[in-house]
Structure 1
Amino acid sequence: MQNFPLLQEQQYVKTRRRIHSVAKLVGRLREALVQPIAKNDNLWLSIVSKGFSTPPMNAINELEIGFNAEILAVEIADNKNRYASVTVTGKTLSELCTEVLDVMKADFDITPNVTAGEFDSERKIEIHPESAQEFLQQSVNFSEILNAFQKGIPFNDGIKSQVCLWPHHFDNAFKWFSGRKIDEIDEFMGIGVSNGDEMYELPYVYMTIYPELRKMNTLELPEGAHLHDSGWQGLLLTYEAITEKKTAEEQSALVNNFLDVGFKGIKRGFSKR
């Protein structure tokens, strides 16, 4: 793992919002191409080494649609060795959608039930390559740590979902269920990384608690973390706390400690309801 890059907040927010808009387009295309299931649990994306992508759509020649942050393009490929890419920069999201739909029809004989009118037609997507690389690096770093932590939870320890990048909220996360119900509500944790939002503009690691605990002040706080109770209840580790550590090893250790200590602490909190 490389060091987490130092992010200039204003530039990062612009980059994050523009890449997020592309994620929403990719997610919308997947939504139009797969069969719906309960709670839209099939509409997730995955972080990959160069950006993010849909999982293969088995019914459509394992079609994949993704965003490559290194070349700033939407990429489309299937198991028939067909490949196409559409450059993102300099276009509105509506124009990008039109071009992607044209390529899918011409090169893959696929016509999703999506229209360009669903997307913004005024603002051009401008992404600086260096900023895109910084976005990619933090995203891949977090993904590696989160996936390793999720895989390390034993199968006989509760029930865990897979790690998913959700195109709407733009966070990469999974859920851990204790197997109990509290007042008819499943007891679970949401464990993940947000790419940033209106509350915290830079990325952050979080653990959410459902249903909420009556007391949080008894939870053990991991190093650098703090309690959060505005809008959702849980633990939060800011990006600034991570980049205060100087080496990749120290940064990774801090995030892993947050996940490990936070997970065990919330489980204890669940057991003491």
Structure 2
Amino acid sequence: MTQSEFPALSDWAPTRDTLSLYAAAVGVVPQALADPHPKWWHVSLKVQEEGAATIPIPHPGSSDTTFQLVMNLKTHTVDIATDDGEIHSLSMTEGLSSTEFGNRLLSTLRDLGITGEFERSKFENDEPRAYDPQAANDFRVILLNTAKVLDQHKAGLSGESGPIQLWPHNFDLAFEWFGTLMVSSDENGETKEHPSQINFG
């Protein structure tokens, strides 16, 4: 591992907090509109070269059309990418509070005919947000290389494991490893059994 693979992130806390809150705004969209996964994998972001992206999300007005949200840490935008090739970008560098940014994101989606019951409380915060493009890009490099390390670790495990995911609510990168022991939990008054699991990240 070299410094170029894991650059130092000194004095990046303000940018980290901005990315975390903006990710929370992005995350409410798949939570409301994506096909639900029993382990909530539908709300997570997947690491890619540009940064992190949602899974393809069904367009609520068209059953055969999808779109994705991409936190692009190269261009420092959140991109709304439709499967017909259109991209609508929102800058993350304007100092907007996460409330303002989230509202702008949902307004842009509404203009594209994409509406839903979005949980705005997850991103509402009225403090102006700082954003350092260099720190964000350094984080992108670290994110990519950390995902590679986790993927190598996953390859050495037996049994079932989940995808490597960036979770918007805590802004943590992790994957799940499932055991053979079944555990019971109460969900909305109903007892369900799930395989035991360990989170690595």
- Common fold by TM > 0.5: yes
Give ranges in structure 1 of 5+ residues lacking alignment.
193-273
Render the CA deviation track for 1:220-269: whole Å, top value 9, x for unaligned: xxxxxxxxxxxxxxxxxxxxxxxxxxxxxxxxxxxxxxxxxxxxxxxxxx
Write the distance in 2 (CA, Å) between the matches of 1:42 and 1:103: 21
Note closer, same or farther for the CA distance 1:81–1:28 as it changes in structure 2 (3 Å cut): same
More strand by share: 2
Conservation of the 8 A alpha-carbon contact between 1:15 and 1:131: yes
Write the distance in 1 (CA, Å) between the matches of 2:86 and 2:27: 21
Aligned to 2:173: 172
Tell me the percent identity.
25
> What's the TM-score, normalizing by structure 1?
0.61
Select the residue among 145, 152, 163 that pairs with 2:149: 145
- SS of the aligned residue for 2:42 comes to coil
Alignment of 1:188 with 2:197, yes or no, is yes
Note closer, same or farther for the CA distance 1:60–1:113 as it changes in structure 2 (3 Å cut): farther
Within 5 Å, give how 1:232-251 maps onto structure 2. none
Aligned to 1:98: 103
- SS of the aligned residue for 2:179 comes to strand
Conservation of the 8 A alpha-carbon contact between 1:94 and 1:118: no
Write the distance in 2 (CA, Å) between the matches of 1:13 and 1:114: 27
> What's the TM-score, normalizing by structure 2?
0.80
Aligned to 1:52: 52
Say what the alpha-carbon RMSD is for the aligned residues. 2.5
Render the CA deviation track for 1:128-147: whole Å, top value 9, x for unaligned: 11111221121111012222
Aligned to 1:67: 71
- State the AA in 1 paired with 2:148: E
Give ranges in structure 2 of 5+ residues lacking alignment.
185-192
More helix by share: 1
- State the AA in 2 paired with 1:191: F
Moved more, 15-24 or 36-45: 36-45
Note closer, same or farther for the CA distance 1:180–1:129 as it changes in structure 2 (3 Å cut): same
- State the AA in 1 paired with 2:149: I
Write the distance in 1 (CA, Å) between the matches of 2:169 and 2:38: 17
TM-superposed CA distance for 1:182, in Å, is 7.3
Greater radius of gyration (CA): 1
